Structure 1
Amino acid sequence: MSVGEAVETEPSRRRPGRAIRFALTIGGVLLLLFGVPWWTLLASGNDWPTGVFVAGTVVFAVALAAFPFLMFLGHGRHHRDGPSVVADTMLGVVWQLFVWSIAGQLLRLVLAVAGVDAPDRSRIASAAALVVSVVLLLWGFWEARRVPRVRRVEVVMPRLGPGLDGLRLVLLTDTHYGPIERSRWSRRVTEVVNTLDADVVAHTGDIADGEVAQRLSQAAPLADIRASMARVYVTGNHEYFSGAQRWVEHMASLGWEALHNRHLVVTRDGASLVIAGVDDRTAAGSGVPGHHADHEAALEGADPALPVLLLAHQPAQIPGAVAHGVDLQISGHTHGGQMWPFHFLVRLDQPVLQGLSRHSERTQLYTSRGTGFWGPPFRIFAPSEITLLTLRTA
């Protein structure tokens, strides 16, 4: 086990006052998320009629009070779909209102400098923030619900044998089958994948938000995906909220190879490629027996002369790939940020946001923006993708 993996296996320790600090932090974040839009749209010198101000304030107050309750019902252990849809949509809406309300306040200052009188400048800023938010939310909803475009990328792997030159690898990740019924969407994704003449199809985790029994119909089309050599899968962090081992077993029942810290070898025209997979980096702390990211176990018995393709859900797992001489790691998890400007927060936790990157002389990483979406049904400046990676020799 590598040094990076040792961190993952440390048991979590409860510290006194942790729950209180967590509650205060969440409370403060929610007050900002709901308070800044309230201030911009209603209170910052707009001079609205009393009825408008009171009605708007009531709406924000009720939303603020209901949001954590709905999140608990929707994303608690029972995964109640109705509250989850409402809470997730509220989160997306308030996030955009928060972001563009801040921009609205900056516009208000510009208008003041330009000599626009009150309350006109405040009303113009409020209207601008509201209109931009609504337009982006409508566009983002369409982007989230459509079938992803195919993103085609060539990756040079110098150690790849000539017989495997041109190997077509299709990457799916972060499908997040969830409370919004998307069985038709899932079937259409399968149809697109099956037009790509894939040698290998890989799913790098976060299949669903919910138990297998809840998402059977949405996951069912995965059984119909075609690949000439292999269909492989590893767990993402969301599997550990909803029955990871049951998802591993279900994917196996659909005909996929669950690379639970293990590998297989594909061969064509005398050239071979090791395809390995490790559990998500959160697996060790999940309490699921036998689950943790273990690169050594995944590569045990593999010929060190062969090139290695590694499935690992998070880009942050790349140090383990570098340490074990992996040629190419494929990952998801980031969603490409999903809703701008969340992109910048993702980069605080992950080494890359999306695309192909190099991390050592040998090791490259491809990070997908994801096939589906998590939570808020919006994708803003972060389009989804079905990725076709064509592997090339030197």
Structure 2
Amino acid sequence: MLLVPALLFGIPWWTLVVGGQSWPVAVVVALTAVAVAAFAGLPLLMAAGHGRRHLDAAARVGDTTLGVAWVLFTWTVLGQLVELVLAFAGMPDPLRSRVVAAGVLVVTLGLLAHGTAEALRLPRVRRRDVVLDRLGPGLDGLRVVVLADTHFGPLDRTRWSQRVARVVAGLEPDVLVHAGDLADGDVADRAHEVRPVAELTAPLGRFSIVGNHEHFSGAAQWVQHLRGLGWQPLVNAHGVVERGGDRLVVAGVDDPTGTPDLRAALSGVAPDLPVLLLAHQPSQVRAAIAAGVDLQISGHTHGGQIWPFHLLVRLDQKQISGLRRHGERTQLYVSRGTGFWGPPLRIFAPSEITVLTLRTPG
């Protein structure tokens, strides 16, 4: 619990302040005080912002501190490698350490500006055709628009939600799905942010599932809220989409934070019908393969959100974005997410609104 924050702040402190730069004493003292304050304050801010009290002001400051610290940590580690190269090249200190410190700061500030713009911008529309072997001709060309990981939370994004809703409406979805992590916090606090997206329509159905963050906030209240707005929350349950005499099963399972039960979700489903499964975490595809699911749609990973965090995400989730086949029948599409969690940053992991067009073979 102490080692990770110590490294997160200690390596940047060494690289920028006391690692051979020979800054004036007043500069060293001031920057050291900032590092100590961030080290001590981050866990307190995160606990107050994302714990039971849900203090949005604390969450905003804590999330921003975490994001800046992670980016700074990443590039000071890389800066240390550059410093080794410069040392072998014969560049002396304090020039060498000052050059590295300046380079790290320039790169970090540039990436923070870029990452903030990426996080707050309107997500890009990503389109993919997905061929399902068992899909009937009446459903050929069915447009499934996917939202995931909107994470409406401490930073009020009502205007962003309105812009996203306009884009989705313009895509004219046949089916609209939300693959979990709709919001962080209680319905009473987040309903106004969620409303523009939640009031979208789709002629063949709107389906949602529970992500791990709904469980942190109280999943039952969000299920009830969406059901009241006309959505069909799928908590170990399924619905059926029909067009042109052909049918598609849309099933959903709970997040592993809760109690996922794919057998219950598919109870009563005819074995010859194609199945589209909403499961928040990509790792749930193992059960989908065993059940003969045709297509699983997931989120959760954010594509890593802040480079190179995707390397850590991949240890838990083997697929972090895109479409891939698993086994003979099952395909898995993983959205990089429509919003962001925590730090308002996306670095080399752009957000998306996804249009999956389902196709029959040939």
Task: Tell me, yes or no, if structure 1 residue 47 matches structure 2 residue 14.
Answer: no
Q: Give the conservation status (yes or no) of the 8 Å contact 1:336–1:382.
A: yes
Alpha-carbon displacement from aligned partner over 1:120-166 (angstroms, at most 9, x marks no partner): 01000011111111100110000000110100011110110011000
Task: Describe the SS at the equivalent of 2:170.
Answer: coil
Unaligned stretches of 5+ in structure 2? none
Instruction: Tell me how far 1:222 sits from its aligned partner.
Output: 2.5
Letter in 1 for 2:283: A
Match of 1:332 among 283, 289, 299: 299
Distance in 1 separating the partners of 2:224 and 2:53: 21
Task: Tell me, yes or no, if structure 1 residue 94 matches structure 2 residue 69.
Answer: yes
Distance in 2 separating the partners of 1:67 and 1:267: 51
Letter in 1 for 2:224: E
Alpha-carbon displacement from aligned partner over 1:26-51 (angstroms, at most 9, x marks no partner): 21100000000000000110011111
Counterpart for residue 210 of structure 1:
185
Alpha-carbon displacement from aligned partner over 1:366-388 (angstroms, at most 9, x marks no partner): 00000000001000000000000
Taking the TM superposition and a 5 Å limit, the aligned residue runs for 1:213-362 are: 213-283=188-258, 292-362=259-329
Distance in 2 separating the partners of 1:81 and 1:333: 22
Q: Give the conservation status (yes or no) of the 8 Å contact 1:212–1:243.
A: no
Distance in 1 separating the partners of 2:58 and 2:299: 27
Letter in 2 for 1:82: A
Q: Give the conservation status (yes or no) of the 8 Å contact 1:201–1:232.
A: yes
Task: Describe the SS at the equivalent of 1:194.
Answer: helix
Alpha-carbon displacement from aligned partner over 1:251-304 (angstroms, at most 9, x marks no partner): 111111011111111111111100000010111xxxxxxxx1111111111111
Letter in 1 for 2:345: F
Match of 1:387 among 344, 348, 354: 354
Instruction: Tell me how far 1:323 sits from its aligned partner.
Output: 1.0
Task: Tell me, yes or no, if structure 1 residue 103 matches structure 2 residue 83.
Answer: no
Counterpart for residue 80 of structure 1:
55
Task: Tell me, yes or no, if structure 1 residue 190 matches structure 2 residue 169.
Answer: no
Distance in 2 separating the partners of 1:368 and 1:78: 30
Runs of 4+ in 1 over 3 A off after TM superposition: none
Distance in 1 separating the partners of 2:267 and 2:336: 30
Letter in 2 for 1:322: I
Distance in 1 separating the partners of 2:309 and 2:348: 10
Counterpart for residue 4 of structure 1:
none
Q: Give the conservation status (yes or no) of the 8 Å contact 1:140–1:379.
A: yes
Distance in 2 separating the partners of 1:388 and 1:222: 16
Instruction: Tell me how far 1:63 sits from its aligned partner.
Output: 1.1
Letter in 1 for 2:180: G
Taking the TM superposition and a 5 Å limit, the aligned residue runs for 1:127-142 are: 127-142=102-117
> CA-atom RMSD, angstroms?
0.7
Distance in 2 separating the partners of 1:220 and 1:355: 28
Task: Tell me, yes or no, if structure 1 residue 114 matches structure 2 residue 81.
Answer: no
Q: Give the conservation status (yes or no) of the 8 Å contact 1:183–1:219.
A: yes
Task: Tell me, yes or no, if structure 1 residue 366 matches structure 2 residue 341.
Answer: no
Distance in 2 separating the partners of 1:351 and 1:309: 20
Task: Describe the SS at the equivalent of 2:357.
Answer: strand
Distance in 2 separating the partners of 1:77 and 1:205: 21
Task: Describe the SS at the equivalent of 1:215.
Answer: helix
Distance in 2 separating the partners of 1:351 and 1:390: 24
Task: Tell me, yes or no, if structure 1 residue 377 matches structure 2 residue 316.
Answer: no
Please give the TM-score of this superposition, normalised by the length of structure 2: 0.99
Distance in 1 separating the partners of 2:241 and 2:71: 46
Q: Give the conservation status (yes or no) of the 8 Å contact 2:164–2:197.
A: no
Unaligned stretches of 5+ in structure 1? 1-25, 284-291
Instruction: Tell me how far 1:116 sits from its aligned partner.
Output: 1.3
Distance in 2 separating the partners of 1:118 and 1:150: 49
Q: Give the conservation status (yes or no) of the 8 Å contact 1:222–1:254.
A: no
Indicate the larger mover: 330-339 or 76-85: 76-85
